[in-house]
Structure 1
Amino acid sequence: MTTSTPSPAPRPASEASIGELLSRVPAQTSQLVRDEIRLAQAELTQKGKRAGIGVGLFGGAGLFSIYGVGALVAAAILGLSEAVDGWLAALIVAVVLFVIAGIAALIGKNEVQQAVPPVPQEAVASVKTDIETIKPGASA
C-alpha cells in the first residue's frame, strides 16, 4: 500500500515567490473570466424576463382593449348618430380611437425602452474594473 503525500497548500500571496505568483495567474484569470460570464448570463436572464413580462402584459392589454373598444365604438356611433349623421358619428369616433391608440403606443414604447439595452451593464463595468486593476501591474 503506497501512501501519497498531499500537495502543500499554496502560501499566501504576501509570502509567495514571484514564480509561484506567476504560476497562479492563468488559473486566476480563467476563474475571473468564468465568473464574469456567469454574472453577464444572470444579468441578461433578469433583463430578458422583465422585457418578456412587459411585452406580454402590453400585448394582453391590447387584446382586451380591442374587445372593449369594439363595444364602445358601436355604442358611441349609435349614440352620436342621434345628433349627427351616421357617417359623421363614425368618423368622430374613429379619430378619438386613433388618439387613444397613439397614446397607448407611446406608453408601450417607453416600457420596452426601459428594458434595453440588453447589455449586462454590471458585468461590463466589472470587466472594465478588472482590466484597469491589471493594467498597472502589467506595466511594472
Structure 2
Amino acid sequence: MTDQPTPSEEKAGNTSLGDLLSEVTRDVSTLMRQEVALARAEIQQSAKRAGKGAGLLGGGGVAGFLAVLFVSIAAWWGLGYLIGNAWSGLVVAVIWGIVAAVLYVNGRKALATVEGVPQTVETVKEIPETLKRNEENR
C-alpha cells in the first residue's frame, strides 16, 4: 500500500507560504464578518423585544400613576368629611411624603451596592500584560 498524499497535503505542498497565509487570513476575515452579522441580528431581535417590553412597562406606569392619583383624591375627599377638606389634603400629602422618603432611602441603599462591571474591568486590565508576554516570546 502506497502512502498517497491527501488533497490537503498536496495543496500545502504545491502552494507557497504567502498564498497559504493569505487564504487563512481571508477565511478568518470571513468568519469574523459572519460572527459580526450574527451578533447584529441577535442584538436587533433583542432590541425589538426590549422596546416592546419598555413600552408596555411605560403604559403600566402611566395607568398605575393614574390609579394612585384617583385613590389619593378619593382618600382626600373621604377624609374631608371627617376632619375638613383642608386638613384632609394635608394628611394625604404627608402620607405621600412619607412614602417618597422611604422609597428614596431604599433607592439610595440599592444604588450604593452597585459595583458596575468588575469582571470586565479586571479582564481589560489584563490585556496589556497578555500582549506584552506574547511580544517577549517572539
Instruction: Give the TM-score normalised by structure 2.
Output: 0.51
Deviations 1:4-48 (A, max 9, x none): xxxxxxx43796244553131232122122122113212322432
Identical aligned residues as a percent: 35
Task: Please tell me whether Structure 1 or Structure 2 has the larger radius of gyration of its CA atoms.
Answer: 2
Residue-pair matches, total: 100
Structure-2 separation of matches of 1:87 and 1:14: 96
Report what 1:16 is aligned to: 12
1:13 and 1:21 in contact (8 A); partners too:
no
Q: Which consecutive unaligned segments of at least 5 residues does structure 2 have?
A: 1-6, 112-116, 118-129
Higher helix share: 2
* CA drift at 1:77: 0.7
1:81 and 1:89 in contact (8 A); partners too:
yes
- Which range moves more in the overlay, 65-74 or 25-34? 65-74
Report what 1:87 is aligned to: 86
* CA drift at 1:95: 4.1
1:80 and 1:89 in contact (8 A); partners too:
yes
Deviations 1:32-81 (A, max 9, x none): 22122113212322432343133212210122123323321221111112
Moved over 6 A (4+): none
Instruction: Give the TM-score normalised by structure 1.
Output: 0.51
